[in-house]
Amino acid sequence: MGLLDIKNVSKRFGGLKALSDVNLSIAEGTVHAIIGPNGAGKSTLLNVLVGKLIPDTGSVMFDGQSVLGRAPHEINQMGISRVFQTPEIFGDLSVLENVLIPCFARRDGPFRMHAFETVTNETEMVEMAEQMLGDVHMLEKRKMQASALSRGDKRRLEMAMCLVQQPKLLLLDEPTAGMARADTNNTIDLLKEIKATRPITMAIIEHDMHVVFSLAERITVLAQGTPLVEDIPAKIKGHPKVMEAYLGTAEV
């Protein structure tokens, strides 16, 4: 039994079978990548994982509890944090506040009417957030407005916002999509650093092979809505089935 268990999940959109009978298990402490060509069902699977889509059949269990049909905030409170394709941050707020919000969310739960406390007096929270910003090398930018950050810094900030919650599972949805090579490498280094310093499970949905092979400990290849192969990176490289899925077969 893994941290996240996907069992017999199928999802149809009209006549299109987006996912058919997907079985996947992500073990605790691993970096698990889910790759596949366009239209393989990666985003559908992700949307199922975060409760946005309810599959026709099957179950998704996280840490012994079903995630199906839950609201985003409930899923997060279960211990799943999510990094988006384009960084989702609070643009109008300062960098420090961006990290403070997840700190409060973790301490106080989905809602608390803390209208008579003062943010700056919550030293424990502020310290925690500043520590985190230090970890991602952004402490000196803590007073900046988040929307003024560079794209790479926004990505860092978003990671910090997720990590400060100490999630059991970090979901990364194409974290390097649309990035320049240098930014991609920076993100890879950051993720490696994170992985080295704390025990965390990561699920990366990605189609940049460079990213996948430099990070993942286990890879699942998805094609036409079903997992094709699951193995360690070394064995995925050059696997005939994977080549076939990505390049198509010459003879049909």
Partner 1 sequence: MFGLTKKDTLLLIVVAILTMAAPFLLNPFPSGSAMAQFNAGYPDLMQRFVIYGLFAIGFNLLFGLTGYLSFGHAAFLGVGSYSAVWMFKLLSMNVIPAIILSVIVAALFSLLIGFISLRRSGIYFSILTLAFAQMSFNLAYSVLTPITNGETGLQITLDDPRILGVSRTESGGIPVTNLFGAEMRSTYEMHVGSWLFQFNTGYYLCAVLMLLGFYLSIRIFRSPFGMMLRAVKSNQNRLRYTGLNTKPYTLAAFVISGMYAGLAGGLLACMDPLAGAERMQWTASGEVVLMTILGGAGTLLGPVLGAGFIKYFENIFSKINDTILHQWFSALPDGLEDAMVFLVHPFIGKGWSLTLGITFMLVVIFLPGGLIEGGQRIGRLFRRRTAKPAPDSAPSSTPAE
Chain positions contacting partner 1, by CB under 8 A: 50, 71-73, 76-77, 81-82, 84, 88-94, 97, 100-102, 104-106, 108-122, 141, 143-146, 148, 161, 165
Closer residue to partner 1, CB minimum distance, 40 or 204: 204
Closer residue to partner 1, CB minimum distance, 154 or 245: 154
Rounded to a whole number of angstroms, the minimum distance from the CB of residue 66 to partner 1 is 18
Q: How many CA within 13 A on the CB side of residue 111? A: 1
Closer residue to partner 1, CB minimum distance, 23 or 47: 47
C-alpha span between 162 and 190 (Å, rounded): 13
C-alpha span between 136 and 125 (Å, rounded): 17
C-alpha span between 48 and 61 (Å, rounded): 11
Which tokens go with 52? 């946005």
Identify the three-state secondary structure at position 81.
Answer: strand
Measured in Å, how far apart are the chain's first and last C-alpha atoms? Answer: 38
Closer residue to partner 1, CB minimum distance, 82 or 195: 82
Which tokens go with 149? 């950050």
Closer residue to partner 1, CB minimum distance, 125 or 215: 125
Report how far apart, in Å, the C-alpha atoms of 17 and of each of 14, 56, 205 are: 8, 11, 20
Q: Which residues pair with 221 in a beta bridge?
A: 35, 229
Rounded to a whole number of angstroms, the minimum distance from the CB of residue 136 to partner 1 is 16
Rounded to a whole number of angstroms, the minimum distance from the CB of residue 71 to partner 1 is 7
Rounded to a whole number of angstroms, the minimum distance from the CB of residue 126 to partner 1 is 11
C-alpha span between 211 and 196 (Å, rounded): 17
Which tokens go with 43? 């985003």
Rounded to a whole number of angstroms, the minimum distance from the CB of residue 164 to partner 1 is 10
Closer residue to partner 1, CB minimum distance, 201 or 220: 201
Rounded to a whole number of angstroms, the minimum distance from the CB of residue 82 to partner 1 is 5
